[in-house]
Amino acid sequence: MSSLRSPNLVIKGKTPLLISGTAFKGPKTAELVEGSLKAGFSAVDSADYPTMDAYDEVAIGKGIAAAISAGTKKREDIFVKRPPSFSSLYT
Mean pLDDT (10-residue bins), the chain, 91 residues: 42 73 90 95 81 80 96 91 65 54
Beta bridge partners of 9: 6
Q: Which helix (H) or strand (E) holds 60?
A: helix 57-69
Burial (CB < 10 A; 0-12, 13-18, 19+), residue 50, is: exposed
Which pLDDT value is given to residue 18? 83
DSSP state of 51: T
DSSP state for residue 84 in the 8-state scheme = B
Task: Specify whether the CB–CB gap between 47 and 83 falls below 8 A.
Answer: yes
